[in-house]
Amino acid sequence: MIGSGNMGTTMAVILYGVLFTYLSAAVLYFWGTRTGKEDILKYALIVTALGCVLHFTVLALRTVLTGMLPLANGLEFLMSFSWFTVLMFVLFAYRFRIKAAGGVVMFISALMVLVLIVLANGNLGTVSPLMPALKSPWLTVHVITAAISYSAFTLAAGLAVIQFFKVGQAIKDDYVSSLVRGGFALLSLSIVLGAIWAEQAWGRYWSWDPKETWALITWIIYAVYLHLYRSQEWRGSNARWLVIGGFLLVMFTFFGVNYLLPGLHSYA
């Protein structure tokens, strides 16, 4: 049986491999998109899938180490959130014509893995006891719906960015809209589940904690997007900027709130 120290080292080594494959995939996607060579784009997708498998290995090792899904703290959330993003991209790239966005999406994913490595600071093999509030069956459903919704918003933003360029003209607005609708539904579910959990843990459904407040602001931005998207005048560049702005709010809700604004969710 691998000790926690050795397992932590193993996870760190694999994470560096994930970082390398994601960066390599980003370079291949940018190269293939620029030159229009389909073979390079195919290799990029293969490298992306390889990185996704390596990333899943880290998640599996962390699960074995802690005895629960990697969702209990900020590092584990980032680890899962970035993996869901890549997995979602692989599935969409295989099904739809969105490979042109691969460079942007994989670069963002590589940055998230790099941040994970920096924040972990060699502590991937460390297991801390759960706070009382986290010892709840609501943890998994609340956090996993949030992670997948964030992934959908990240992929949507990647598509929106590349749509501003000639190489992204084949990417339909409906692809972006579908991702936002899916992410919005899951974010809504996550907020409801979180409110139920909060009532059980703290005796109230809503406390205007910074995390709750910014999650609500993010929800409103995407609700506005979905409402305005029905109008033809709000499609195209206007809608894309709103999707990108929503993604920046998602990043602030995670990084800014978790590490800058103290509150009931500070442990996350």
pLDDT band with cut points at 50, 70 and 90 for residue 132: low
Is pLDDT at 258 greater than 70 in this prediction?
Answer: no
Q: Contact, 47 vs 56, CB < 8 A?
A: no
Give me the mean pLDDT over the 187-208 stretch.
83
Give me the mean pLDDT over the 141-154 stretch.
94
The answer to whether the Cα torsion of 54, 56, 60, 65 is positive or negative is positive
For 74-83, how does the pLDDT look when each residue is reduced to its tens digit (9 = 90+)? 889 999 999 9
pLDDT band with cut points at 50, 70 and 90 for residue 259: low
pLDDT band with cut points at 50, 70 and 90 for residue 1: very low
Structure tokens at 236: 């195209």
CA distance linking residue 25 with residue 28, whole number of Å: 5
Average pLDDT, the chain: 87
Is pLDDT at 216 greater than 80 in this prediction?
Answer: yes
Angle, CA 94 vertex, CA 93 and CA 99 arms, to 5°:
30
Give me the mean pLDDT over the 55-75 stretch.
90
